Amino acid sequence: MQNMRSDLKKVTIIGSGAWGSALTSLVKTNQHHLQVWSRQSPYSLAEAVADSDAIISAVSMKGVRVIAETLQTVKLLPHAVLVSATKGLETITGQTPSQIWQSLIPDHPLVVLSGPNLSEEIMAGKPAATVVASKDENAAQLIQHIFASRNFRVYTNSDPVGVELGGTLKNVIAIAVGACDGLNLGTNAKSALITRSLIEIIRVGVYFGAQPETFWGLSGLGDLLATCNSNLSRNYQVGYAIAQGQSLETAIANIHGTAEGVNTASVLVGICDREKIYVPVSRYVHRLLKGEITLQQAVEGLMERDLKPEN
Protein backbone atom coordinates (compact mmCIF):
# COMPACT_ATOMS: atom_id res chain seq x y z
CA MET A 1 0.00 0.00 0.00
CA GLN A 2 1.62 3.28 -1.07
CA ASN A 3 1.50 6.12 1.42
CA MET A 4 3.07 9.26 -0.05
CA ARG A 5 5.12 11.26 2.45
CA SER A 6 3.24 14.46 1.55
CA ASP A 7 0.11 12.72 2.86
CA LEU A 8 1.39 12.45 6.41
CA LYS A 9 -1.19 13.84 8.84
CA LYS A 10 -1.37 14.80 12.48
CA VAL A 11 -3.58 12.21 14.15
CA THR A 12 -4.84 12.14 17.74
CA ILE A 13 -6.18 8.93 19.28
CA ILE A 14 -8.34 9.32 22.36
CA GLY A 15 -8.36 6.24 24.61
CA SER A 16 -5.54 3.81 25.30
CA GLY A 17 -7.51 0.67 26.07
CA ALA A 18 -7.35 -2.43 23.87
CA TRP A 19 -8.87 -0.79 20.80
CA GLY A 20 -7.14 2.58 21.16
CA SER A 21 -3.81 0.73 21.42
CA ALA A 22 -4.50 -1.35 18.30
CA LEU A 23 -5.51 1.75 16.32
CA THR A 24 -2.35 3.47 17.58
CA SER A 25 -0.20 0.66 16.21
CA LEU A 26 -1.95 0.96 12.82
CA VAL A 27 -1.39 4.72 12.61
CA LYS A 28 2.24 4.26 13.64
CA THR A 29 2.76 1.81 10.77
CA ASN A 30 2.06 4.64 8.35
CA GLN A 31 4.32 7.08 10.22
CA HIS A 32 1.73 9.81 10.72
CA HIS A 33 2.40 12.39 13.44
CA LEU A 34 0.65 10.67 16.31
CA GLN A 35 -0.56 11.88 19.68
CA VAL A 36 -2.39 9.55 22.07
CA TRP A 37 -4.54 10.94 24.87
CA SER A 38 -6.05 9.10 27.83
CA ARG A 39 -7.20 10.20 31.27
CA GLN A 40 -3.72 9.34 32.54
CA SER A 41 -1.94 11.69 30.10
CA PRO A 42 0.14 14.47 31.64
CA TYR A 43 -1.24 16.96 29.06
CA SER A 44 -4.81 18.13 28.40
CA LEU A 45 -7.17 16.87 25.72
CA ALA A 46 -7.11 20.39 24.24
CA GLU A 47 -3.33 20.17 23.82
CA ALA A 48 -3.57 16.68 22.35
CA VAL A 49 -5.99 17.69 19.59
CA ALA A 50 -4.44 21.08 18.73
CA ASP A 51 -3.46 21.06 15.03
CA SER A 52 -4.90 17.56 14.48
CA ASP A 53 -6.20 16.67 11.04
CA ALA A 54 -7.97 13.59 12.40
CA ILE A 55 -9.24 12.95 15.93
CA ILE A 56 -10.08 9.31 16.62
CA SER A 57 -12.17 8.38 19.63
CA ALA A 58 -11.68 4.81 20.85
CA VAL A 59 -13.14 5.16 24.33
CA SER A 60 -15.84 2.86 25.65
CA MET A 61 -19.48 3.96 25.39
CA LYS A 62 -19.63 5.44 28.87
CA GLY A 63 -16.85 7.90 27.97
CA VAL A 64 -18.20 9.15 24.64
CA ARG A 65 -20.41 12.03 25.77
CA VAL A 66 -17.94 13.44 28.26
CA ILE A 67 -15.16 13.39 25.65
CA ALA A 68 -17.39 14.95 22.97
CA GLU A 69 -18.56 17.64 25.43
CA THR A 70 -14.95 18.47 26.26
CA LEU A 71 -13.98 18.70 22.60
CA GLN A 72 -16.97 20.97 22.01
CA THR A 73 -15.22 23.61 24.13
CA VAL A 74 -11.85 23.24 22.38
CA LYS A 75 -10.62 25.00 19.27
CA LEU A 76 -10.08 22.42 16.51
CA LEU A 77 -8.62 22.98 13.05
CA PRO A 78 -11.58 23.91 10.81
CA HIS A 79 -11.00 20.89 8.56
CA ALA A 80 -10.42 18.41 11.41
CA VAL A 81 -12.20 15.09 10.85
CA LEU A 82 -13.74 13.27 13.84
CA VAL A 83 -13.69 9.47 13.87
CA SER A 84 -15.84 7.33 16.15
CA ALA A 85 -14.55 3.79 16.78
CA THR A 86 -16.85 2.97 19.73
CA LYS A 87 -19.44 0.15 19.52
CA GLY A 88 -22.30 0.84 21.92
CA LEU A 89 -25.58 2.63 22.71
CA GLU A 90 -25.95 5.39 25.30
CA THR A 91 -27.96 4.33 28.33
CA ILE A 92 -30.28 7.29 28.83
CA THR A 93 -30.76 8.52 25.26
CA GLY A 94 -30.39 5.28 23.26
CA GLN A 95 -28.15 7.23 20.87
CA THR A 96 -25.26 5.72 18.95
CA PRO A 97 -21.79 7.25 19.45
CA SER A 98 -21.90 8.93 16.04
CA GLN A 99 -25.29 10.50 16.85
CA ILE A 100 -23.76 11.97 20.01
CA TRP A 101 -20.70 13.29 18.15
CA GLN A 102 -22.82 14.73 15.36
CA SER A 103 -25.23 16.49 17.72
CA LEU A 104 -22.47 18.02 19.87
CA ILE A 105 -19.93 18.90 17.16
CA PRO A 106 -21.99 19.30 13.97
CA ASP A 107 -19.50 21.50 12.09
CA HIS A 108 -16.87 18.82 11.56
CA PRO A 109 -17.08 15.82 9.24
CA LEU A 110 -17.70 12.59 11.11
CA VAL A 111 -16.45 9.13 10.12
CA VAL A 112 -17.43 5.82 11.75
CA LEU A 113 -14.76 3.10 11.80
CA SER A 114 -16.05 -0.43 12.36
CA GLY A 115 -15.40 -3.96 11.15
CA PRO A 116 -14.25 -7.44 12.19
CA ASN A 117 -11.30 -6.12 14.18
CA LEU A 118 -10.34 -8.14 17.24
CA SER A 119 -7.65 -5.93 18.72
CA GLU A 120 -5.32 -8.76 19.79
CA GLU A 121 -5.08 -10.05 16.21
CA ILE A 122 -4.37 -6.55 14.91
CA MET A 123 -1.69 -6.01 17.58
CA ALA A 124 -0.12 -9.28 16.43
CA GLY A 125 0.11 -7.88 12.88
CA LYS A 126 -2.38 -10.33 11.39
CA PRO A 127 -4.26 -9.23 8.25
CA ALA A 128 -7.67 -7.61 8.74
CA ALA A 129 -10.13 -5.36 6.94
CA THR A 130 -12.40 -2.59 8.17
CA VAL A 131 -14.90 0.03 6.99
CA VAL A 132 -14.78 3.81 7.34
CA ALA A 133 -18.21 5.30 6.74
CA SER A 134 -19.28 8.91 6.36
CA LYS A 135 -21.74 11.15 4.59
CA ASP A 136 -18.61 13.13 3.62
CA GLU A 137 -16.75 11.07 1.02
CA ASN A 138 -13.53 13.11 1.26
CA ALA A 139 -13.43 12.64 5.03
CA ALA A 140 -13.90 8.86 4.66
CA GLN A 141 -11.10 8.73 2.08
CA LEU A 142 -8.76 10.70 4.33
CA ILE A 143 -9.30 8.21 7.15
CA GLN A 144 -9.01 5.29 4.71
CA HIS A 145 -5.52 6.46 3.77
CA ILE A 146 -4.47 7.18 7.32
CA PHE A 147 -5.15 3.58 8.38
CA ALA A 148 -4.63 1.47 5.25
CA SER A 149 -1.48 -0.65 5.21
CA ARG A 150 -0.22 -4.00 3.97
CA ASN A 151 -1.98 -5.78 6.84
CA PHE A 152 -5.04 -3.56 7.17
CA ARG A 153 -7.39 -3.14 4.22
CA VAL A 154 -9.82 -0.24 4.60
CA TYR A 155 -13.05 0.21 2.62
CA THR A 156 -15.15 3.39 2.47
CA ASN A 157 -18.93 3.34 2.88
CA SER A 158 -21.64 6.03 2.84
CA ASP A 159 -23.92 4.54 5.55
CA PRO A 160 -22.32 5.52 8.90
CA VAL A 161 -25.28 4.52 11.08
CA GLY A 162 -25.52 1.11 9.39
CA VAL A 163 -21.79 0.50 9.77
CA GLU A 164 -21.90 1.60 13.40
CA LEU A 165 -24.96 -0.52 14.31
CA GLY A 166 -23.48 -3.67 12.79
CA GLY A 167 -20.58 -3.39 15.25
CA THR A 168 -22.80 -2.41 18.16
CA LEU A 169 -25.63 -4.93 17.88
CA LYS A 170 -23.45 -7.97 17.20
CA ASN A 171 -22.00 -7.59 20.71
CA VAL A 172 -25.35 -8.71 22.18
CA ILE A 173 -25.47 -11.66 19.78
CA ALA A 174 -21.88 -12.64 20.66
CA ILE A 175 -23.04 -13.10 24.27
CA ALA A 176 -25.77 -15.48 23.03
CA VAL A 177 -23.34 -17.39 20.82
CA GLY A 178 -20.71 -17.59 23.57
CA ALA A 179 -23.41 -19.15 25.77
CA CYS A 180 -24.42 -21.52 22.95
CA ASP A 181 -20.79 -22.70 22.65
CA GLY A 182 -20.40 -22.83 26.43
CA LEU A 183 -23.35 -25.23 26.56
CA ASN A 184 -21.84 -27.19 23.67
CA LEU A 185 -25.10 -26.96 21.70
CA GLY A 186 -23.35 -27.66 18.40
CA THR A 187 -22.71 -26.10 15.04
CA ASN A 188 -26.30 -26.34 13.78
CA ALA A 189 -27.57 -24.32 16.73
CA LYS A 190 -24.78 -21.79 16.41
CA SER A 191 -25.39 -21.30 12.69
CA ALA A 192 -29.13 -20.83 13.25
CA LEU A 193 -28.47 -18.35 16.05
CA ILE A 194 -26.05 -16.24 14.00
CA THR A 195 -28.22 -16.24 10.89
CA ARG A 196 -31.50 -15.40 12.62
CA SER A 197 -29.70 -12.75 14.67
CA LEU A 198 -28.57 -10.99 11.52
CA ILE A 199 -32.23 -10.62 10.55
CA GLU A 200 -33.02 -8.96 13.87
CA ILE A 201 -29.98 -6.68 13.59
CA ILE A 202 -31.30 -5.54 10.20
CA ARG A 203 -34.76 -4.86 11.69
CA VAL A 204 -33.19 -2.53 14.26
CA GLY A 205 -30.92 -0.99 11.65
CA VAL A 206 -33.84 -0.07 9.43
CA TYR A 207 -35.52 1.66 12.39
CA PHE A 208 -32.35 3.78 12.85
CA GLY A 209 -32.38 4.67 9.11
CA ALA A 210 -29.57 2.34 8.01
CA GLN A 211 -29.45 0.61 4.61
CA PRO A 212 -30.24 -3.13 4.99
CA GLU A 213 -27.47 -4.12 2.55
CA THR A 214 -24.84 -2.54 4.81
CA PHE A 215 -25.38 -5.44 7.23
CA TRP A 216 -24.24 -8.00 4.66
CA GLY A 217 -20.81 -6.35 4.57
CA LEU A 218 -17.71 -6.36 6.75
CA SER A 219 -19.19 -4.19 9.48
CA GLY A 220 -22.32 -6.37 9.70
CA LEU A 221 -22.00 -10.05 8.84
CA GLY A 222 -18.20 -9.74 8.92
CA ASP A 223 -18.05 -8.49 12.48
CA LEU A 224 -20.83 -10.83 13.58
CA LEU A 225 -18.80 -13.81 12.34
CA ALA A 226 -15.54 -12.58 13.88
CA THR A 227 -17.04 -11.93 17.27
CA CYS A 228 -19.18 -15.06 17.42
CA ASN A 229 -16.30 -17.32 16.37
CA SER A 230 -13.52 -16.08 18.60
CA ASN A 231 -12.81 -16.51 22.26
CA LEU A 232 -10.80 -13.29 21.98
CA SER A 233 -14.15 -11.46 21.98
CA ARG A 234 -15.00 -10.18 25.45
CA ASN A 235 -18.73 -10.40 24.71
CA TYR A 236 -18.40 -14.02 23.60
CA GLN A 237 -16.37 -14.67 26.77
CA VAL A 238 -19.18 -13.28 28.95
CA GLY A 239 -21.74 -15.62 27.36
CA TYR A 240 -19.39 -18.59 27.56
CA ALA A 241 -18.62 -17.92 31.22
CA ILE A 242 -22.33 -17.70 32.12
CA ALA A 243 -22.87 -21.07 30.43
CA GLN A 244 -20.08 -22.44 32.62
CA GLY A 245 -22.04 -21.36 35.69
CA GLN A 246 -20.38 -18.01 36.45
CA SER A 247 -22.46 -15.03 37.57
CA LEU A 248 -22.55 -12.00 35.26
CA GLU A 249 -20.52 -10.03 37.82
CA THR A 250 -17.78 -12.68 37.95
CA ALA A 251 -17.74 -13.00 34.17
CA ILE A 252 -17.32 -9.24 33.75
CA ALA A 253 -14.65 -9.09 36.44
CA ASN A 254 -12.65 -11.84 34.70
CA ILE A 255 -12.48 -10.29 31.23
CA HIS A 256 -9.88 -7.76 30.13
CA GLY A 257 -11.57 -4.53 29.05
CA THR A 258 -15.15 -3.72 28.18
CA ALA A 259 -17.96 -6.06 27.03
CA GLU A 260 -20.28 -3.42 25.57
CA GLY A 261 -22.98 -5.99 24.74
CA VAL A 262 -24.12 -6.16 28.38
CA ASN A 263 -25.24 -2.52 28.44
CA THR A 264 -26.24 -2.53 24.77
CA ALA A 265 -28.71 -5.38 25.40
CA SER A 266 -30.54 -3.34 28.01
CA VAL A 267 -30.67 -0.13 25.94
CA LEU A 268 -31.65 -2.04 22.81
CA VAL A 269 -34.54 -3.87 24.46
CA GLY A 270 -35.82 -0.55 25.83
CA ILE A 271 -35.86 0.90 22.29
CA CYS A 272 -37.43 -2.23 20.81
CA ASP A 273 -40.18 -2.30 23.47
CA ARG A 274 -41.03 1.31 22.67
CA GLU A 275 -40.86 0.89 18.89
CA LYS A 276 -42.30 -2.64 18.81
CA ILE A 277 -39.30 -4.16 17.02
CA TYR A 278 -39.09 -7.96 17.24
CA VAL A 279 -35.65 -8.95 18.60
CA PRO A 280 -36.10 -12.36 20.26
CA VAL A 281 -32.42 -13.28 20.59
CA SER A 282 -31.39 -9.91 22.07
CA ARG A 283 -34.42 -10.00 24.36
CA TYR A 284 -33.49 -13.43 25.75
CA VAL A 285 -29.90 -12.24 26.25
CA HIS A 286 -31.21 -9.23 28.17
CA ARG A 287 -33.49 -11.36 30.37
CA LEU A 288 -30.64 -13.81 31.03
CA LEU A 289 -28.25 -11.00 32.01
CA LYS A 290 -30.88 -9.51 34.32
CA GLY A 291 -31.26 -12.89 36.01
CA GLU A 292 -34.94 -13.19 35.03
CA ILE A 293 -34.42 -16.56 33.34
CA THR A 294 -31.89 -19.37 33.28
CA LEU A 295 -29.86 -20.18 30.21
CA GLN A 296 -31.87 -23.38 29.79
CA GLN A 297 -35.10 -21.35 29.79
CA ALA A 298 -33.59 -18.98 27.19
CA VAL A 299 -32.79 -21.90 24.87
CA GLU A 300 -36.25 -23.40 25.35
CA GLY A 301 -37.92 -20.04 24.91
CA LEU A 302 -36.16 -19.41 21.59
CA MET A 303 -36.93 -22.90 20.28
CA GLU A 304 -40.57 -22.98 21.36
CA ARG A 305 -41.75 -19.72 19.81
CA ASP A 306 -44.68 -19.80 17.38
CA LEU A 307 -43.75 -21.27 14.00
CA LYS A 308 -43.43 -18.70 11.23
CA PRO A 309 -42.14 -18.16 7.68
CA GLU A 310 -38.39 -17.52 7.40
CA ASN A 311 -38.83 -14.06 5.86
CA-wise closest residue to 163 among 231, 93, 116:
116
Within 112-131, which residues bind ligand 13P (CB under 6 A)? 116-118
Within 145-204, which residues bind ligand 13P (CB under 6 A)? 167, 171, 174
221 belongs to the binding site for ligand NAI (CB under 6 A)? no
Q: Is 62 a catalytic residue?
A: no
114 carries a ligand binding annotation:
no
With CB under 6 A as the contact rule, which of the stretches 73-81, 92-100, 185-193, 226-234 interacts with ligand 13P? 226-234
Which member of 28, 170, 190, 308 is catalytic?
A: 170
258 belongs to the binding site for ligand NAI (CB under 6 A)? yes
Report d(CA 145, CA 202) in Å as an integer.
29
What, of ligand NAI, ligand 13P, none, does residue 39 touch, CB below 5 to 8 Å by kind? ligand NAI
227 belongs to the binding site for ligand 13P (CB under 6 A)? yes
| Cβ at position 221, least distance to ligand 13P in Å | 12
With CB under 6 A as the contact rule, which of the stretches 75-83, 103-111, 230-238, 287-295 interacts with ligand 13P? 230-238
125 belongs to the binding site for ligand NAI (CB under 6 A)? no
Number of residues that bind ligand NAI (CB under 6 A): 26
Residue set of the binding site for NADPH: 19, 39, 87, 119, 234, 260
Residues serving a catalytic function are 170
Interface residues with ligand NAI (CB under 6 A) are 15-20, 38-39, 58-63, 66-67, 85-88, 117-119, 257-258, 260
Residue set of the binding site for sn-glycerol 3-phosphate: 87, 115, 170, 223, 233-235
